[in-house]
Structure 1
Amino acid sequence: MGILSNKLFMILRLVLHWTLVVWSCLFLIVLSAQDAPTKDLDRKIYTGKIKSYESRMGPFKLNEREFTVVLKLMTYQGASKGFDETVESFSIVDKEGEVHYQKSFDVEYGNGRFAESIGIWAYALDSRGRKGFLYESGRLKEFISKGHAGVGLILYYGVTPSAPSSGVSYQVFTLKGEHLAPLFSPLTVYGQIYELPHGSNPNARRLFDDNTMRFGVWTGWFEVIVPVKVLDRLRVVSLHYYSTYGYDAFDVRVERRHSEEETFVRLFKSPEISSIPRHVIIKKETKIEFLLAYARVSIESGGAESAISIDKMPWLKVRIDGKEGFVRDAEDLLALGIHPAG
């Protein structure tokens, strides 16, 4: 009798357990069904405010062929400026309509706007003539060869919102046989990309000397101006053909705040911390010139984007009342009137 009672108790317990499970599942199904119309309504509201349209840039003439950049854009009605439009995708097509390159972006929206806005600008790219020397009438004369129009296509990508000194990248496309293809993944920098001068027509831009683009790499204290060759392959171009203590020389842009207080800096003879510095007094009337930055610059490639970076803090070459030397440490930069930012 006791065994029979135990079996009946176990059966009753199992029945009650599965009854609770079934009712819980039914409750969740009903709850989801009630919530579904709300989600559908939200989706319809968003869809009603978001519209799509197409925009074209070009045509761009490259080696006697024409290419057009076709943008697929989305607009958000009533969104705040800067978050009311974004590029959903783009393609590069030739005159016959063949697609040579295409790319799409993830578009997220909520709170009455796009989460981020992507913009794209395109230009034909003209090469710069190269410097050379010609022996004429018993002397060497410098000349610059003629550049070429339409050697490539350059695309700029802009993203909003972005951190200060970031958010812009660019990519160069050239013809490889019959096909237009990117030379590298979009290249970005913590700093700024210098604007290229106008080229052979309003839709073209011309490269700087040596077929380079210029990047202002922000160190946190000053800007190192880095030229980069962009045709064929990416390559950093320093001012000298040789390195100094393992560093390459680059132009520099420095903002200085003048001070009324007298102080001093440690001026190193060479860009190495083991050299013995001399102390130079800085007064109100002291003349200070910022000459060059000595840095190790590299291009880090990988994944969807490439980036220009500087290894450690660069040395800053200065001239103080005619005395030349190098500084790097924070206390010396502050004594020169240079303050950190960014």
Structure 2
Amino acid sequence: MPTFDECRAETIDIVSIVPTQGPCGILAPSCTAATSLAVDEINSGAGILGREIRVTTIDGGRPPHEVATEVEALMATGMIGAITGWHTTPVRRAVARAVGGRVPYLYATDHEGLTDERPGVLMVGEHPGRQTVPAAAWMARELGVRRWAVIGNDYIWPRHTTDALRRSLGSPADIVVERYVPLGTTDFGDFLDDPALLFADAVLILMIGADTARFNRQFSAAGLPDLLPRLSPAVDENILLSAGLSANKNLYVASSFFIDDSTPDGRDRRGRYRAHQGRFAPALTTFGNATYEAIHLLGALADTVGTLDVATLTTNLATGVTVDGPVTRRGFLGNQAVGPAFLAEANGVDFDIIDRLS
């Protein structure tokens, strides 16, 4: 039987944090299945730094301090080589404090673009200036949108994203409604009945998971899709399915990750996913793809720099690192992954990509 140290030398253990409960619990099966595909692809090759990788998935839908406590316990074993996942900002901030820069932490969710992230926290998702703000500018240019109504969950990412939109607009008064609701909200009547909504040209949705699906169903039931286009940077195919066909009309989504069957890469990735997971697997979605890319980016970054040591990675990332691999992200500049961002329109329970965002 191999010793503890021999196990460490032969494998790299990765913690994947995805919510299995709460509003984002509907995303977990897709994220976990896509991560499994990435692990199999990497291990069927040379691994990461010549070592096999193993992934332990933990529930990121719990209160942040509970997630951080479990991560801290896993870190105490000395066996954890990296962390990835799709989860909320409060979870990321709590986990980053617990990790303390000891291992790289690839965060696969859109974020706020804050400058106080701890060493080793690498942003695979986009910040508002590269995604939501350009998407809003596209809607102003193409659809004549000037005034916005904002509905968001009540935590740091929606509030900072709204602030970024406000700074980009001609006047702060161009946000005519701004409301934040707790995670797990089921009734959006106060927002939908607000008379100020009549002065908006579009709605920015900064909620996550099932909250967005519930909002879109109520928005549709109120007869508003024909009057007000909606924009969100946090919708995937699971959310479209949960909301239903009629709730997705006139809905635009900004993302760095879309599985586009019209391209050879998209068809190939979906084909590999189905071959790996089987015909009854969860759909390969935008958010699942983000967790898939985070694992591959970790491998590409480690093999490019030659280590997972956070201090060495940080030194190299400061001047920019280009990576190669089966991903749309082509490298890092500082702690931000670099790659394209796109705007799509919901088409039933799928997406039609309509433009690339600059």
TM-score class normalised by the smaller sequence:
under 0.3
Which has a greater percent of strand?
A: 1
Q: TM-score normalized by structure 1?
A: 0.19
Q: Which has the higher contact order (CA 8 A, sep 6+)?
A: 2
Structure number, greater radius of gyration: 1
Q: TM-score normalized by structure 2?
A: 0.19
